[in-house]
Structure 1
């Protein structure tokens, strides 16, 4: 049996196993009684065939993305995400070998201990400041979710996952690149400050850089494609469905303006603006006139109540847009003849 498992493990790393064989392998590895020295020796020999440097290739990153998805599938509602449920040891062992973490795992901790993760989800109208294990700072926007490991390993990738919006102030560490995974998009830095907008339902993804340099890539079908290197003042806007993107230069002060309750919109349609305002102010919009869908605005709202924001939008529309705020139900009904 053990000999078959060793062969199966080697085939797995070579990408030659089918789902049924992978299940057999994970069932075996998930059993703590099977974590014997013979298997470790097999892993060590297999690892010796790999490159000595950590693997940052598209294949390795894609493998890590699978781990992230399994973490999210199995996580409880509480903040602390304990080691994976059934296949914890198996997943960690296999991905460790693929990503270049095996040497550390073998020397520092038992392989079967798994990985613990922390997670924070904000509600509409809420934003929080988080400090990661490496002292990097994250400002998490409304209606967003951040997931990160309980500790980072020196010399290995600092991988975290974001759904929503966040501004990052990353502590510089040339030996440990910091990578933010947002759906099929990946943002990689060494130490810098930047903003990511990645709400899955919006269909758009953006990265805006305040300091340092950021590399943005797209993961598609297991292949990692670099889109652009961004420097201070640059912003990349990516359309998920069309797989197209554009790069612009903006004002650095707008990158993280929302942290100080300043919301900037540039050539944004009214429905898209309302979608963002719903998150920022924890309200719900009901747009009753289709003509208003074509209205586009440039606007910045700083320390304004939602009532003040709506009044400014009404004025910008040439007073053709009308609205009614239902405070009790946190609902804003909008109608009108169009825009100016």
Structure 2
């Protein structure tokens, strides 16, 4: 499994590099990766650091070495430099590694009528007076002014709250940001905390923190937080059955009703989940009031925020829940046994659903049929 994880991580770093999203630590990881000794080493001249095209070519050559040979115990779906270039430059597919060593399987995805495009940036903002604003139809300009706050939508599609005054009202006024299936959105709260909201989720928050002793917000579904530090006003997140107290940090909360418990994952900093303190790269699973803390695969958990699917030993049932939310589709399994198939891989979220299903079919165990907005999963005959 470590070998599979290494290759998934390899593709993920290449993906993030070409998107310009590598952190300093990840850049160091890429450098270490290039400098590793292997049977077929790739020499990277110092000039590559200042030459974007040459650096990309080095990535492709390394991927050719790492992904070219067929390894025992798994199926490499994309081989060679041509596949690597197509994969990373177009960000149009993914590398999937399966438990079974099988030959390539013919694509059989059946599309009833129209293919379904991926989700996009969009949400509905509900104001304190109940008025609703469809943000996808709002131009990049000021949205409103209320209670000492200016609300704007920028060119990135982010909703930004700027606190310009304390506000006269003693009572807190709340706004609620809600995403439907097939939508994601970002909001910068009045305290400058940044929140990414996944599909079929919501966040309710005070539009002005100035008069409150704490910064308390309420979420459903899944949200990723980068919380601004303010020792005078603790940041607290309320979700189903739990309270998370934040001390200036990055973390993810997954509280979908169809998942097994609420999962709080800490990337950096410190959070308290119902009285239990988490360390970075730990996850608290709160199921029926019982809290369990375990190590977390952070990259897989926040892949949704970064624009791709990332699975490591994940069941098809779990994968299809994510597909259902992002593409706004229903899913039907013709056999319960299909739900337990496990695989790992990385692929972009920004392709039509048929492309995702084609990759999943290459397990050789399932076939898919798309009827309207319903995906039917069948045993492969």
Please give the range of the TM-score, normalised by the shorter of the 2 chains: 0.5 to 0.7
SS of the residue 2:243 aligns to: strand
The question of 1:239 aligning with 2:284 is answered no
C-alpha separation in 2, matches of 1:302 and 1:165: 19
In structure 2, the residue matched to 1:115 is 172
- Contact 1:262/1:302 (8 A) holds in 2: yes
C-alpha separation in 2, matches of 1:309 and 1:130: 29
Correspondent of 2:186 among 129, 134, 137: 129
Q: CA deviation at 1:200?
A: 2.7
Q: 1:238 to 1:187 in 2, by over 3 A?
A: same
Q: CA deviation at 1:179?
A: 0.5
Deviations 1:34-70 (A, max 9, x none): xxxxxxxxxxxxxxxxxxxxxxxxxxxxxxxxxxxxx
- Contact 2:201/2:219 (8 A) holds in 1: yes
- Contact 2:125/2:178 (8 A) holds in 1: no
The question of 1:320 aligning with 2:365 is answered yes
C-alpha separation in 2, matches of 1:255 and 1:320: 26
- Larger CA Rg, structure 1 vs 2: 1
Correspondent of 2:239 among 166, 182, 185: 182
In structure 2, the residue matched to 1:296 is 342
C-alpha separation in 1, matches of 2:226 and 2:354: 32
In structure 2, the residue matched to 1:259 is 305
SS of the residue 2:183 aligns to: coil
In structure 2, the residue matched to 1:311 is 358
Gaps of 5+ in 1: 1-76, 84-106, 218-225
Which of the two has greater helix per residue?
1
SS of the residue 1:196 aligns to: strand
Deviations 1:142-165 (A, max 9, x none): 000110011113671110000011
**TM-score normalised to structure 2 length:** 0.53
The question of 1:230 aligning with 2:278 is answered yes
SS of the residue 1:202 aligns to: coil
Q: CA deviation at 1:80?
A: 0.5
Q: 1:311 to 1:289 in 2, by over 3 A?
A: same
Q: CA deviation at 1:260?
A: 2.0
Using CA pairs under 8 Å that are at least 6 residues apart, name the structure with larger relative contact order, 1 or 2.
2
How many residue pairs get aligned? The number is: 222
In structure 2, the residue matched to 1:172 is 229
SS of the residue 1:275 aligns to: helix
- Contact 1:176/1:190 (8 A) holds in 2: no
C-alpha separation in 1, matches of 2:212 and 2:169: 19
Q: CA deviation at 1:304?
A: 5.5
After alignment, is 289-298 or 244-253 more displaced? 244-253
Gaps of 5+ in 2: 1-123, 131-165
**TM-score normalised to structure 1 length:** 0.59
Correspondent of 1:153 among 189, 210, 227: 210
In structure 1, the residue matched to 2:257 is 200
SS of the residue 2:360 aligns to: helix
Q: CA deviation at 1:176?
A: 1.0
C-alpha separation in 2, matches of 1:292 and 1:268: 12
After alignment, is 154-163 or 329-338 more displaced? 329-338
C-alpha separation in 2, matches of 1:303 and 1:110: 43
